Every structure is written in C-alpha cells, then in structure tokens.
Structure 1
C-alpha cells in the first residue's frame, strides 16, 4: 500500500518469455519460408542453366549473367534492409519483398530472351536479398533474448536444406515440364507465405520514420561489393586479370569499399552498415567467424554438385540425392544445438561445428583415390552436422546482446557478411579449380578429380582460419551469464 497522496510505484515490465510457444513457432516458420523460397530458387535455377542456354541459344558467357545478375541484385538489397525496416516496418517490408520476388519470378517465366531474363532476375534478387535479414530481425524481436538461440536452431535448418533439395526439385521439373516452371514453382510458395504472414506475423511500427537514408553510403557500399564480386566471378569464369572489366571490377570494388569505410566512421548519423558494430564484442568475433565460414560452406556447396556431375558423371538429380545426407546431418546438428545452446558455451558449439566440417572435408582432398559412395555419404553427414551447429550460436550471441532498435541493422550486417563471404569464397574456389584443371591438363595428368581435390584443400584452409575468429566467442553459456 502506498501512502495517501504519494505517487504509485512504477510497475516492473513483465519478464521476457523463456518457453518456445506455438505463436513463436508459427511466426518463425512463416518468416523462414521466405528465406527458403529465395535460396531454393537460386539452386533450382543453377540446375537449369544448361537448359536455359539451349533455349535462348546463348553462350556460356551470356547465360552466366542469369546467375550473376541475381547475385549482384542481392548484394544491392541486403545493406539497405536495416533502413527500410526502420522506415516502413518489419512485416510490411517482408511482405513487400515476397511480392517483389514473386513478380520477378513471374516475369522470368515469361522472358523472351536472355537479356530480358537477366533484367527480371535483378527484380527477383532485390526481393530475395531483403527476405533473410528482415525475417531474422523479425524472429529475433518476437523471440526476445531468452528464446532466440533455441528458435533459430529449430527453424534455421530449413534454409540449409535448400542446396540439397534444389537439385532434386530442379531435375524433376526439367524432367516433366518446361523451363518456365523453374520460376513458376515460386508462386504458390510465395502466395502461401504472404497469406500466413498477414495472419500470424505481428506488425511492428517503424522505428525511425524520420531517419535520413545514407545516400552516400548507398552509392559506395553496394556498388563496391557488387564490383568486387563481379571481378572475382569473371576471374572464376576464366577471364584473365589483364581483361579490362575484371581489373575495373577488382580495383574499383576495393576503392569503393575503402571510401565507404572512411565515410561510415566519420558519419554523424546512422550509416547504411554501421562499421562500429564490429568493434563491439561479441559482434566482431561473430562476424569474423561468419565471413570465413561463409567462404568455406558456400564454396563447398558450389564444388560438391559440380564434382558429382563433372567428376563422377552423375545427373543433377542423382547429384542432389547424394547431397541429401548433408541436409540430414544439418537437421541432426540443429537438434543438438537446440538441446544444448543454453547450457554449452557458444565458442564450444561453434568450434565443434568447425571441427566436424573440417573432418567431413578431408575425404574430398583425396578424390584422386576415387573414394566410395558410402565414404562420401558418411563425410557429407559429418559435414552437415557441423553446419547445423554454427549458425544458431553465432546469431544467438549477436541478437541476444542487441537492443531491439538495432536488430534490423545488425541482421543486415550479418547477412551481408554471410553473402560476401560466400560470394568471394565461391569465386576464389572457382579460380583455384580453373587454374588446377589447366595446370594438370598441361602436364598431361587425368586432371578432373585431382583438380577438385586440390581445390578442396582451400575449403579446409578456410575452416582453419575460421577457428581464429571462433576462439574469441564467449566462453560461457547464456544460462551462466
């Protein structure tokens, strides 16, 4: 009881929920459905590249822009996601991104030339680039710091399955229908996702309607990242370093990124991607581990289907089936993380995951000895378990330590690093593979399997470098802090 005339005591805010309830599960699965759709589409289209080249009578150089254009659009969209969410609200941004992605998918299915297909893939990429960071930020807000690790470990495995399911779905579509269905398949998934989002995802008001957009940052960062990745991609496609567009891409990209770094540090307002986030523990350690792991993980996702098809003569469908154990391992790893993430230190989980990825990669450095399918399946299973043990702990320590207002921008920064690491890692491995194929062919060696084995040593090296960043992650679990 308070004394007469005295002001009532301020009531304490309700404690943050700690249990995973049905509402959170529904919200998380709806939001992750958008990410799954976008990543699945990228894999399906990669399977159909040869078919598209024949349909449009395009050269390899021309048709590779179907993939490159999507990637470059993705890199333009991700850095802007934080500001867009702050300005227009999370649910509205996410639904708009799905609609934009579906519009791009429909236009791609109706494309009449390779040039029109490339333009429509840019529209797809702009929508697809917003879905992962916006979805993650919304899940983090809904879950709160006590539940974010466990919910990510539950739903985070779904995007990991897309590189496994994609070749199977793409091969099946091309076996029974025409190439437009590579894009039509997105329409029912996206429409269901929009309807479920309107029903189950709570609207969040914009955080900063009056915040000015970082125009100079947008003119420096996305084009810089895109130019750098374009240059590396062209080198990976066999272009020489004395090829003018390659040099312009590499040098121009580095110059633009350096200029953005200076601008972001000096800017008084909120930059497109706040580089000061990387100086705050544990964000800096998590980011450094994430970018190197992105290079290793996505680089291997690029190499494995290519090896199964070019090195072992499998069809895309058969290659997809052989990758299934990696997806099953990722699901198993996520179960392990879900049960231990609040009890075991993030550093322990991530280092264990890196160790399993490295262990599962060793066999692929010995491809010259033609390992048997059971050994390959076992290695992929081990790799998958490692993959499932990394993402949730890293995102948990970042999102649980961030104020709600900073979640969209932190999510955008993490996703940009993940995409950047994966893009650069894939491009570097493509260069290494091309170089090793040419070197072994010049020496008259039976080069395909050995060249892939040489290249997988690089993915193993990426894992070892990632250990350096992972050792700086927190030593205590969330429950003991």
Structure 2
C-alpha cells in the first residue's frame, strides 16, 4: 500500500503578506531605534553639555525598558487581544519618540527613552504572536522567515540611518523619523489586520512575578554594564540583586498555582528548551558583534560612522539572501539541519575577526559579514517556526513573549559580557587595539559553540502540518 501523499502547502496569499508587512513595521521601528542613536552620542553630548558616559544612558535606558516590557506582552495580548495590544504599543512608541525629540535636558531625554522602550519592547513579541495566529501552523514558517530578518538588519540599518540623518538634520530627527512610520502602521493595521479575540479564560496579572522578573533582568543588565565601566561596587550590587530577583522569580514561577508571567516549565519541554537556548546565544552573538565591530571600525580603522555602517552592510545583504533560502526550505528541511548549518556559517564568518591583529582587508571583512548574515537568517526563523507551529494558538502570546525575552536578554547580557572582556583585553594589550578586539571575538566563537550544542537537540524532521 502506498503512503498517502503529503498535503500541499497552504498558499501564502496577498492578504497574509499585507498583514505581515504591516506588523513588521512595528518590529522595524523598535529594532532600528535600539541602534540608530548610537552614532549620535557625541552630538548629544555636545548639545546637552554632558559627558559621553552620561549620554550613553540614552541607549542604556531604552534597552532596560525593552527588557522590562517584554515579559508582560503575553498577558496583555491574552487580556486585551493581540491587535489592540499591538496598536497600543505603537501608540506608546510614537508618543515616546515625539517627546524624545522635544526633550529639553539630558534627564528628560532619558526618561522619554524609557517610555519609548516600553512600547518598543512590546512590539516584536506581540506582532509575531498575532501574525502566527493569522497565518496558522501551515503558513507560519514561510511568513516568519520574512519577518525574522528585520532584527538582523537593524544593527546594520540603524547606524546607517542615524549617520545619514545627522548629515542633513539636527538630532531630534533621530526620533521624529519614527512618527510617520508609526502613524502609517496604525492606520493600516486598523484597516487590514484582523481582530484576534482575547483569551477566553482571563487570568489575573502575575504582579509578584512582574516585580521580580522585569526589574531583575533590568538590574542584572545594569550591573553588567557597570562592570564594563569599571565601577566595581555598583556592579557587584547590580549583578547580585539581579540574580537574586531572577532566582526568586524561578521559585515563584514553579510554585504558584496561577499562570506565571513566563512559565519556567516551558523551557523543560522539548523542543522549546533547545530552541530557547539557540535564540539566547544568537542574540548574544548578533548584538554582541554589532557592539564590537562599529567600535573597532571607528577606533581601530579610524572610519567615520557612515564608513563603518557601509562596511557592515554586507551582513544585511547576507541576511536577506539567507531569508530567501529559508523561505524556500523551511517546510521541507529539518529544523536541526537549518539551525546547525546556520551556526556553522556564523562560526566560519567569525573566524576572520579573531585575526584582526593581522589586519585583514576590507574585502575579507565584508565577505565574513555576508557569510554571518546568511547564517543568522538560518537560525531565527526555523527556531520560531518550531515553537509557533507546534503550540496551541491560545498559548502563542506567552510563548512569543518568552522567545523574544530570551533573544533580548541574550543580546543585552552578551553585549555587556563582551564589553567587560573588551575592557580587560584593552588594558592587557595596551596600544594594540586590533589584537584586543581579536581576543574578544574568541568569546563570540564560544557563544556559537554553546548554541550548536543546544541545536543538536532540535527536531530531525520538518514540522508536520495539520
């Protein structure tokens, strides 16, 4: 007896692509805004007559607010519905952008960046969960392969966009550029994004979990940042307090009879645990590298912000090429094959950066970044597809929140750890900047090896569609 033929893949029609485009606008704004201000630090320091260390809080405050907001995304979508929560997040983000542009002092700008980060932190997980609900399990993989490329492009596009804006306009336009995009996203979403009903069994907000998890993550990242700045007492207090609060949340999440903000048991269920580890380390590798390379290009190679952005552009080209490849194979190739292959490409593309002491040419660096871009695109979409296509629709918002939280925390903690390592190597190497950066990139290789170990536990066969 012949085996029945596999059902044909569900078609990704124009309506679904339109919804994906609208929702990705929110992710694009939030992702690019995390890096667009980095090239304007010196400009802001001059305008506000402040030190670079103080102005750096404009970036740090946004990052901490994003980390604090992500855990609540699942409960908000369950309580108020995915579309309503997403529209609220866009509105908060746009309001925060306008207020940032109107800031009259450095403290006011930092405060408004917190508001902006709270909206930005909700956008990716809410948008992804909403898109997965609209697409259904049969089409999630191909749609997510397009959406997942946006966070990979943002570390490249952010500095380029910021440098371009500052060449022709004052710094408030770093924030005002978000306003037309956000307004357009709201108008299009109200017309074209379908309403997804809130969860029928409404659960009470996990207040105790929120008071432990979000502040715990923010304090931990803040403590690691203090380590990088060489302030030992605040660093010890921050890291210790952050770890203690996270340990308290873990105990609370395992013992509570209510639905916790993020369920720790999710990470013990295959393939969620392996997928989570892959995303955690991917975040550390992607954002950690995008922290190191612009610094190296501008200090070690004495490039302008614009020149550094151009040299980073091949990674974006590679990510786009990788997303096309993944879109065509994600429903046919085993997740483990794609993810392990992607990690192998990232490893290959990272090796030249461990040899910066030998001054590799721009062509070698550009080629390595393009290879890394392809590899990164082969990880995010398959990992998210594993979870989104195998989980009940009612649980999508909380699963999406957990995945995005890990990716965000991976990026935050990975960047902070690499900053500490870089500072130590700069001290040890003295004037040999290139070799100090090369030493630090060995840690990026280590992150990738940890991710590869987790990826071997991913499913060996493509997800079966209903």
Tell me how far apart the structure 2 counterparts of residues 365 and 465 of structure 1 sit (CA, whole Å): 18
Residue from 326, 342, 346 that aligns with 1:353: 342
Q: 2:238 matched to 1:249?
A: yes
Paired residue for 1:228? 220
Q: 2:101 matched to 1:109?
A: yes
Tell me how far apart the structure 2 counterparts of residues 379 and 388 of structure 1 sit (CA, whole Å): 15
Q: How do residues 24-173 of structure 1 correspond to structure 2 at under 5 angstroms?
A: 24-173=16-165
Paired residue for 1:9? none
Paired residue for 1:298? 287
Tell me how far apart the structure 1 counterparts of residues 200 and 68 of structure 2 sit (CA, whole Å): 21
Tell me how far apart the structure 2 counterparts of residues 210 and 281 of structure 1 sit (CA, whole Å): 26
Q: 2:459 matched to 1:470?
A: no
Residue from 178, 185, 194 that aligns with 2:177: 185
Offset of residue 17 of structure 1: 7.5
Residue from 264, 268, 286 that aligns with 1:275: 264
Segments of 4+ moved more than 2 angstroms:
478-481
Offset of residue 72 of structure 1: 1.1
Q: 2:446 matched to 1:454?
A: no
Paired residue for 1:7? none
Alpha carbons 1:220, 1:260 under 8 Å: kept: yes
Tell me how far apart the structure 2 counterparts of residues 145 and 97 of structure 1 sit (CA, whole Å): 25
Alpha carbons 1:264, 1:275 under 8 Å: kept: yes
The normalised TM-score by structure 1 is 0.94
Offset of residue 478 of structure 1: 2.3
Q: Give the 3-state SS of the residue equivalent to 1:105 in structure 2.
A: helix
Q: 2:429 matched to 1:440?
A: yes
Alpha carbons 1:32, 1:159 under 8 Å: kept: no
- How many residue pairs are counted as aligned between the two chains? 460
Q: 2:377 matched to 1:388?
A: yes
Offset of residue 237 of structure 1: 2.3
Q: Give the 3-state SS of the residue equivalent to 1:478 in structure 2.
A: coil
Q: 2:327 matched to 1:338?
A: yes
Tell me how far apart the structure 2 counterparts of residues 154 and 174 of structure 1 sit (CA, whole Å): 30
Tell me how far apart the structure 2 counterparts of residues 275 and 321 of structure 1 sit (CA, whole Å): 41
Q: 1:16 to 1:412 in 2, by over 3 A?
A: farther
Higher mean alpha-carbon deviation, 67-76 vs 253-262, is at: 67-76
Q: After superposition, what is the alpha-carbon deviation per residue over 1:413-454, rounded to whole angstroms, capped at 9, x for unaligned? A: 00110011111100000000011001111xxxx321111000
Structure with greater Cα Rg:
1
Q: Give the 3-state SS of the residue equivalent to 1:371 in structure 2.
A: coil
Tell me how far apart the structure 2 counterparts of residues 215 and 159 of structure 1 sit (CA, whole Å): 30
The alignment yields a C-alpha RMSD, in angstroms, of 1.4
Paired residue for 1:3? none
Offset of residue 209 of structure 1: 6.6
Q: 1:168 to 1:115 in 2, by over 3 A?
A: same
Q: After superposition, what is the alpha-carbon deviation per residue over 1:165-208, rounded to whole angstroms, capped at 9, x for unaligned? A: 11111111111110111111100111111111111100112114
Tell me how far apart the structure 1 counterparts of residues 201 and 303 of structure 2 sit (CA, whole Å): 53
Alpha carbons 1:88, 1:209 under 8 Å: kept: no
Paired residue for 2:413? 424
Alpha carbons 1:16, 1:144 under 8 Å: kept: no
Tell me how far apart the structure 2 counterparts of residues 17 and 341 of structure 1 sit (CA, whole Å): 11
Q: 2:364 matched to 1:375?
A: yes
The normalised TM-score by structure 2 is 0.97
Tell me how far apart the structure 2 counterparts of residues 141 and 235 of structure 1 sit (CA, whole Å): 41
Alpha carbons 1:230, 1:249 under 8 Å: kept: yes
Offset of residue 158 of structure 1: 2.6
Tell me how far apart the structure 2 counterparts of residues 93 and 267 of structure 1 sit (CA, whole Å): 26
Paired residue for 1:238? 230
